Amino acid sequence: MTVERAILLTVGGLIIISVLLAVYVNLNWLWLTGILGVHLVQASFTGLCPVVMMFKRLGLPSKPGFT
């Protein structure tokens, strides 16, 4: 698994979990979904993502693009 695919898995999983929590527990969990969306937009402009740094420290290889 590469850093890029790990990010997709992590963020996608968090979004699914937050939506399910909003449906079954409390609508306030949708704030997490919104925060994740804002972070994705911010990271696309700045290239700064703490989760990427964590995955790189764990030794996951990085590969440009999605091939």
* Angle (CA) 20 49 15, round 5°: 10
Reported as a pLDDT band with limits 50, 70 and 90, residue 66 is: low
pLDDT digits (tens, 9 = 90+) for 26-46: 999 999 999 999 999 999 899
Rounded-to-integer distance, Cα 27 and Cα 25, Å: 7
First CA to last CA across the chain, in angstroms?
12
pLDDT at residue 16 above 50? Answer: yes
Rounded-to-integer distance, Cα 39 and Cα 21, Å: 20
User: Looking at this protein, which amino acid is placed at residue 23?
Assistant: V
Higher pLDDT, 35 or 66: 35
Rounded-to-integer distance, Cα 48 and Cα 26, Å: 31
Percentage of the chain exceeding pLDDT 90? 66
